[in-house]
Amino acid sequence: VEWRKWPGANDVQCPGGKDLFSAASAFTMTAPWKDILCNVQLIQYVAPIAVDSALLEGVLMRTKDDPNASDVVNYAPFTLLPSAVPSSLLEQAYSVQQDFNLLVDEVSRNAEFLERTLASTVKVDDFTAQLFKIYKQVLKEGITQSVFLGINRSDYMFDYGAEGTPALKQIEINTIAASFGGLTSRTTAVHRHVLNVLGKSKEASKLLTNNPAKGIATGIAKAWELYGSDRAVVMFLVEEAQRNIFDQRCVENELWMRNIRVIRRRFKDVFEKASLDNDKRLHIDGEEIAVVYYREGYVPKNYNKQNWEARLLLERSRAVKCPDIATQLAGTKKVQQELSRPGTLEKLLPNKPEAVARLRATFTGLYSMEMDEEGDKIIAMAIADPDRFVLKPQREGGGNNLYGEELKQVLEKIKDSPERTSYILMDKIKPLPALNYLLRAHSPLKVSECVSELGIFGVYVRLGQDLVVNKHVGHLLRTKAVEHADGGVAAGVAVLDTPYVI
């Protein structure tokens, strides 16, 4: 074995011996790579090979220091080895995705439901209130958009509850700017190569092919086609700092391959240069826009006064917004909590008892903290046992949730204030840890106890009242070290992974 040193890092740190695998749990999920994990020399040898493979395959990110330049880039963080995923749970996640697509679409079309569900939240949460204001204004003017495109990602963890068998439990559904469909399309090849180099070609051949970038592009292409203007373009609405451009380029290039032109613009460009014609068609720089694909606009920091105006202009237009403002609101944590209330799914999806049962099976405990007696009880319950729960504000992108002692302190502070309705409370999901190496530029190479989060990408297209496309288009596995309560690859916590089905 050729000995190569991990660039700029310490030696592999691996607490050797049998206690590494002593917890039965860690053993189950780590078992496929048991013979490799503590072979320090082998790990040292294969880690740089894995990194080179990631660079070759295009698993890339721009750097924090230079987020808008592509002349110095690095690999996106990823696991050295694929992580075990129970096959029944992967299948279950795929088989409920069309139900989630349908559900999100139904919620987005149900003004009464959105209004009632978000009523208390918009009083105390400025960001949701702003979105809601735009929603109401567009409703009042009348919606001119007739083609609707949803691209979402439903995320899960595997909960090992008291019974000791894993259960698929939803963390959340992302209805705006759900990312990593591009880079994850390329991660499988990296892990396949790593396993081959490690002499595990049988295991390598078992890795599932996965191409959400293509599926997402197919959805955008269908929406573009139904919009019905050959000359019109697709506009990716992008952030000021574009670290994750390669993930987006994967989708973008799929569209160019179909001869659909793509332009990239920021809110600022829209504010300065976009306009609507008499027909509410959207134009910018001499181009008509058929589809606006948001990879921006999901957190307060994306907005200033001008950007809110730009958002309103886009929403008023005839262009297909992915998502439209209603669908963004359908993805709030408050809506997620309301969906779990007994009877809600049945009302939203009448005559679909099987879909309702499949959806409900993925829900864990979600609790509202309205200003009533029930809300008081929930808060007392959480303060008494904070480690059982996660406290979530109406935010996206990772790093916003509260856990443990901090959860308790915040609840104690806001328990008598309406501010409490800007949060929801959720049962903490407890997955089994497994051992892996998280490869991240400029970080030491050491074994970590990790947990994974599985996401399934869903795409749907609706023309007027008819759902003409409703599918799942692939998966994303993200893995993080257990010491981080919160997640997110862009947030710098989780890394890209590939499921190894067991």
Residue 344 found at the interface with Mg ion (CB under 5 A): no
Q: How far apart (Å, rounded) are the C-alpha atoms in residues 206 and 203?
A: 5
Choose among Mg ion, ligand ADP, none what residue 248 binds, the Cβ cut-off being 5 to 8 Å by kind: none
- Burial pattern 41-69, b for ≥16 Cβ within 10 A else e, equals ebbbbbbebbbebbeebbbbbbeeeeeee
Looking up tokens 């949803």 gives 150
Choose among Mg ion, ligand ADP, none what residue 345 binds, the Cβ cut-off being 5 to 8 Å by kind: none
Using CB under 5 A as the binding rule, the residues of this chain from 384 to 443 that contact Mg ion are 396
Looking up tokens 């109406």 gives 394
Residue 392 a catalytic site member: yes
Residue 172 a catalytic site member: yes
DSSP state of 142: -
Binding-site ranges for ligand ADP (CB under 6 A)? 155, 171-172, 390, 392, 395-398, 400-401, 426, 428-429, 453, 486-488
Minimum Å distance from CB 150 to Mg ion? 15
Report yes or no: 311 and 130 within 8 Å, Cβ to Cβ.
Answer: no
Among residues 153, 186, 334, 420, the one annotated as catalytic is 153
Work out whether the CA dihedral 444, 10, 46, 249 comes out positive or negative: positive
Between residues 94 and 403, which has the closer beta carbon with respect to ligand ADP?
403
Residue 397 a catalytic site member: yes
Residue 174 found at the interface with Mg ion (CB under 5 A): yes
Among residues 62, 333, 420, 462, the one annotated as catalytic is 333
Peptide bond into 67 cis (omega under 30): no
Minimum Å distance from CB 228 to ligand ADP? 34
Nearest residue to ligand ADP by CB is: 487
DSSP assignment string, 441-479:
TTS--BEEEEEEEEEEEEEEEEETTEEEEEEEEEEEEEE
Residue 478 a catalytic site member: yes
Q: How far apart (Å, rounded) are the C-alpha atoms in residues 75 and 55?
A: 6
Minimum Å distance from CB 260 to ligand ADP? 29
Among residues 396, 398, 455, 487, the one annotated as catalytic is 396
Residue 74 a catalytic site member: no
Between residues 181 and 398, which has the closer beta carbon with respect to ligand ADP?
398
Among residues 53, 101, 108, 174, the one annotated as catalytic is 174
Between residues 193 and 333, which has the closer beta carbon with respect to ligand ADP?
333
Parallel, antiparallel or unpaired: strands 466-481 and 447-463: antiparallel
Residues serving a catalytic function are: 153, 172, 174, 179, 333, 392, 396-397, 478
Residues that bind Mg ion (CB under 5 A): 172, 174, 396
